[in-house]
Chains A and B, each alone.
Chain A
């Protein structure tokens, strides 16, 4: 096999047998694999993770003490905060490899539920991304002056409007480098999905090595470059954003 054939398989996965291809759609959409699947999982789980992270961060937020809240509301508030904290700390304490294994094995072994493996992969990485996103967002929210909240209130904005119109635009710039770094981390860590037979690029490399007379070292070098190039470019972006942030703080 030539290098270009190997690279093509690594990027898009093994071609489907012709009788399984639906001619109405492009072939790579029907069974994504290789680097394409890696990117797909990264992007999907970052998007879901952003939503999840926002929810978690808001749950854990120290709300201004409401003097009219009765005891039930206060207990509920405490319960929500503690459970969000437990999710975040629990996931942060686990290595991603273990998290992936848990997400792939526990639902079936304990509850007998089966899901498509793509969904499970996205679930594991959404959880992972969401937790780290929420930590970065929490730090951002803490850096917003509490006077902003009061100003918003005086202007007659609802809490949701204050969050969307005042606080989120303010913390976006402080969060930007962290978010880019999180993207890089998630992108690199999707390689752990190879252990649960998701056909992302690392796994496809293994398949190639098992089925074709190729040099595994060469395949692995191509894989490493495929990870390294986007990651390096994103890291450069992150460094730039960090400099911007430093300029902002001064």
Chain B
């Protein structure tokens, strides 16, 4: 479940982050301000109160405002949404760094070749930007996986609980805290090492391609 939460929220974060990037690169002022505001808001909010707000505060506000009861069974979705928003803010920042790192002469060159702005972004900027920031993106995804443990503050149904939450539940039933926690720690270390290995490999491949093209 840790892996599923991490994967879904990571994917969601990538999509939201990309949209925010589009906002921040756009020529329209309000849209840009929206992007900046999004990053500023969610980068500086801690996850625990954020998830608590999404799962406890939001339903209360919903009923107060609309007078209808909040739909049940949305906890997991809200947790994933919270994680995705948090990671997306960081990802957008990293992507922006990548986009600004692409040399402006390349954009000028592409424009003089007659490429449309969309084609410039698709074929010139994004591929290079992705390669430049690949290591930073990789470490953010690992952070996202580690952040999924924060989901334990939210009362999720047992079958969708992540590993530390399960450890806590077992500890509560058996009154032994050491073994489940050590097991959960081992799982996390293993996951972090494996995911780190895979993502770093991908990042170094991407970086090697910069070297090959440069």
Contacts of A221 in B (CB 8 A): 53, 57
CA distance A228 to B41 in the complex (A): 7
Is B108 among interface residues, defined by CB-CB distance under 8 A? Answer: no
Is A220 among interface residues, defined by CB-CB distance under 8 A? Answer: yes
For chain A residues 66-120, which have a beta carbon within 8 Å of chain B?
A: 90, 92-98, 101-102, 105-106, 109-110
Specify the main secondary structure of chain B where it touches its partner. helix
Pick the contact of B181 from A102, A195, A217 — CB < 8 Å? A102
Contacts of B178 in A (CB 8 A): 105-106, 109-110
Q: Is the CB of B58 within 8 A of A217?
A: yes
CA distance A149 to B64 in the complex (A): 66
Q: Is the CB of B61 within 8 A of A217?
A: yes
CA distance A191 to B153 in the complex (A): 11
Q: Is the CB of A191 within 8 A of B184?
A: no
Contacts of A194 in B (CB 8 A): 48, 153
Number of A-B contacts (CB under 8 A): 115
Is A124 among interface residues, defined by CB-CB distance under 8 A? Answer: no
CA distance A188 to B50 in the complex (A): 11
B22-30, B187-195, B199-207: which lies at the interface: B187-195
For chain B residues 38-67, which have a beta carbon within 8 Å of chain A?
A: 40-41, 43-50, 52-53, 56-58, 60-61, 64
CA distance A73 to B182 in the complex (A): 34
Mark interface residues in B155-178 (1 if CB within 8 Å of A CB, else 0): 000000000100110010000111
- Candidate in B43, B52, B53 with the most chain A CB atoms within 10 angstroms: B52
Q: Is the CB of A232 within 8 A of B164?
A: no
CB distance from B63 to the nearest CB of A (A): 10
CA distance A232 to B60 in the complex (A): 27
Mark interface residues in A202-218 (1 if CB within 8 Å of B CB, else 0): 10011001000001110
Contacts of A97 in B (CB 8 A): 149-150, 152, 164
Is B185 among interface residues, defined by CB-CB distance under 8 A? Answer: yes
Is B140 among interface residues, defined by CB-CB distance under 8 A? Answer: no
Q: Is the CB of A191 within 8 A of B193?
A: no
Q: Is the CB of B150 within 8 A of A192?
A: yes
Pick the contact of B44 from A189, A215, A227 — CB < 8 Å? A227
Pick the contact of B189 from A94, A205, A209, A235 — CB < 8 Å? A94
Is B146 among interface residues, defined by CB-CB distance under 8 A? Answer: yes
Pick the contact of A216 from B57, B153, B181 — CB < 8 Å? B57
Interface residues in chain B, defined as those with a beta carbon under 8 Å from any beta carbon in chain A: 40-41, 43-50, 52-53, 56-58, 60-61, 64, 146-150, 152-153, 164, 167-168, 171, 176-178, 181-182, 184-185, 188-189, 192-193, 196
